[in-house]
């Protein structure tokens, strides 16, 4: 599986951000499954999900303090990279 993500350390907190489809954010079951999956991949660090809605607005899901921090960034400020898992 390939996906776009980033690991960020800010103010002593390390967390991951993963780009998902907007449908994943809109479905509680898909959202919970994605968080569980990516938490396993990122070895237990908090995982934030992000997607763009049809109008191009960036949406986040996860811990409210981290979502607040991310919402102040431009997506281009996130150090995205492609991850591959087996």
Over residues 8-67, the pLDDT tens digits come to 999 899 999 999 999 999 999 999 999 999 999 999 999 999 999 999 899 999 999 999
What is the domain extent for residue 31? 2-76
Task: Select the more confidently predicted residue: 6 or 75.
Answer: 6
CB count, 10 Å around CB of 35?
19
State the pLDDT at residue 81. 97
Please report whether residue 82 resides in a domain. Answer: no
The DSSP code sequence of 31-46 is HHHHHHHHHHHTTTS-
Please report whether residue 83 resides in a domain. Answer: no
**CATH (domain of 32):** 3.40.1350
Please report whether residue 86 resides in a domain. Answer: no
Indicate yes or no: pTM above 0.85: yes
Looking at the structure of the chain, the number of domains it has is: 1
Please report whether residue 30 resides in a domain. Answer: yes
Please report whether residue 41 resides in a domain. Answer: yes
Please report whether residue 54 resides in a domain. Answer: yes
């Amino acid at each position: 599986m390939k996906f776009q993500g980033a690991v960020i350390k800010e103010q002593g907190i390390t967390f991951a951000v993963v780009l998902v489809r907007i449908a994943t954010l809109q479905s509680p079951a898909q959202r919970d499954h994605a968080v569980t999956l990516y938490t396993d991949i990122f070895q237990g660090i908090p995982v934030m999900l992000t997607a763009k809605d049809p109008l191009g607005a960036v949406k986040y899901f996860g811990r409210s303090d981290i979502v607040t921090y991310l919402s102040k960034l431009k997506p281009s400020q996130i150090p995205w990279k492609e991850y591959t898992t087996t």
